[in-house]
A = this chain, B = another copy of it.
Amino acid sequence: MVSQDELESIHEASLTVLEEIGLNFLLPEAREMLAKAGADVDPSGSRVRFDRGFIDEMLSTVPSEFTLHARNPAHNVTLGGNRFAICSVASAPNYSDMEFGRRRGDFAGYKDLMRLVQYFNICHLPGGYPVEPVDIPTPMRHIEAGVAAMELTDKVLYAYSLGRDRVLDMLEVTKLARGIDDATLEQETSLWSVINANSPLQYDIPMLWGIIELSSRNQAICITPFTLSGAMAPVTIPGALVQQNAEALAGIAFTQVVRPGAPVIYGGFTSNVDMKSGSPAFGTPEAVQATMISGQLARRYSIPFRASNVNASNAPDAQATYEAQMSIWACMLGHVNLMMHGLGWIEGGLCASFEKFIIDAEMLQMAAELMQPPVINADTLGLDAIREVGPGGHYFAAQQTLARYENAFYDPILSDWRNFETWEEDGAKTATERAHLLYKQILADFKPPALQEERREALHAFMAKRESEGGAPMQ
């Protein structure tokens, strides 16, 4: 998307921001650690400045690739290089389907969405709560949701960085679900958390505790500035990227201060706002450019790159679909390693849609198929078949066709390729209506993955113990 020189000018400008303006780190313990490591910490406030040498040194220990371990090793996820992993929608306060409409997040919706997370192979891991289960009181919400995730899926677990106690609880849930001790957990990264900068140029206390508790134990951090161009970042995309990059590098540097070599992901979330209303916009041309340039930056630093499958539509309709496609292609062309909100997100993240989850599954399966390089050899070039059929014939009965037809092409789960008359007789259902039926059927047929009985008991015993202690205090 930009030349090497242009990329360097973004990089250089962000180093100037780090050196000259710096960021606010609101947690005193984090500032202390940064001062000790050699950053320039304002003794009378929260400002921290970073010189170029410091940033270079911190970047030198970041792993270019690492593995997140699931309780089922078949669902381990390696991030970096040419790998492309996909998460479900995360943190939506509402969820919807076209029958019951839009609901406040609850545990029932959370569990149904987790079942879809488990069902689809193209959904490699959940990206947090697909919908916030607000009917579980906050002191126990993280534990109950975490245990339910481990009962409904055997994929990688996620922790919200909403205070130390919650992170420590989730470390415990992870160990119990995997049946491992502290030493193994430290060797096998198994838990991860997204850390958002409070843009512009600020890291808040719970986020910094998340980095300290997780990075120190070699668990994974996904640093993600939320730089909406025109609102929390400059109104130009290059300017927003300068700020994003400064914030990302500061956060990434802090993970390496906490523990050199700690696994960390470079997250890009630069989009723009609608300048008429201030509403955030997603899947825009500007956001595609920003994602592709962010990918160039992450590759420059050899850090696994995260972006998202996002849209601003209020329904799982054509707008949700084209904005999502713009996002998906941006991820492919931006060489993303971790796509967040891959399945189910609508409304700029304010709602998880069941129908959109299915539409996304189809779109992402198509993307995965597309990324398989075509095989060009004497057999696929098909001269024998062309000789066999000759001018004016057809290939339905050609030997090559008979040998290959079963797996020749991508087989869709949602697309309906029947002719109009057949489709009309069958109820003339739109893709969104078919997605509705499909998700209902998947939930009706769902069988949870096996979980060893002693692990389930240990998880429930931990949950009961923490409940008796009152759970985690409000933060």
Contact = CB atoms under 8 A, between A and B. Distances in A.
B318 A235 contact: no
B289 A418 contact: no
A9 interface: yes
A438 interface: no
Contacts of A202: 391-392
B313 A416 contact: yes
Nearest to A20: B387
A371 to B, nearest CB: 8
Given A236-B408, A366-B284, A408-B235, A318 B398 contact: no
A417 B315 contact: no
Contacts of A400: 234-236, 239
Interface residues of A, number: 119
A256 interface: no
Among A316, A389, A406, A414, residue most surrounded by chain B Cβ atoms (within 10 Å) = A389
A22 B359 CA distance: 44
Contacts of A392: 24, 198, 200-202
Interface stretch (A33-41, A179-187, A216-224, A322-330): A322-330
B242 A383 contact: yes
Interface in A122-140: none
A392 B435 CA distance: 42
A242 to B, nearest CB: 5
A313 B314 CA distance: 22
Contacts of A275: 405-406, 408-409
Interface string A200-230: 1110000000000000000000000000011
Contacts of A318: 316-318, 320-321, 359, 430-432, 435
Interface stretch (A143-151, A153-161, A372-380, A464-472): A372-380
B430 A317 contact: yes
A319 interface: yes
Given A201-B390, A380-B239, A415 B323 contact: yes
Contacts of A10: 376, 381
A102 interface: yes
A231 B395 contact: yes
Nearest to A281: B417
A347 B381 contact: no
A257 interface: no
A24 to B, nearest CB: 4
A372 B1 CA distance: 10
Which A-B residue pairs are the 3 nearest by beta carbons? A239-B382, A234-B382, A325-B325
14 contacts: A2-B373, A9-B376, A10-B381, A17-B383, A201-B392, A229-B408, A230-B409, A234-B385, A239-B381, A242-B382, A279-B418, A325-B329, A326-B366, A326-B370
Given A23-B391, A318-B318, A347-B420, 4 more contacts: A1-B374, A21-B391, A230-B395, A351-B420
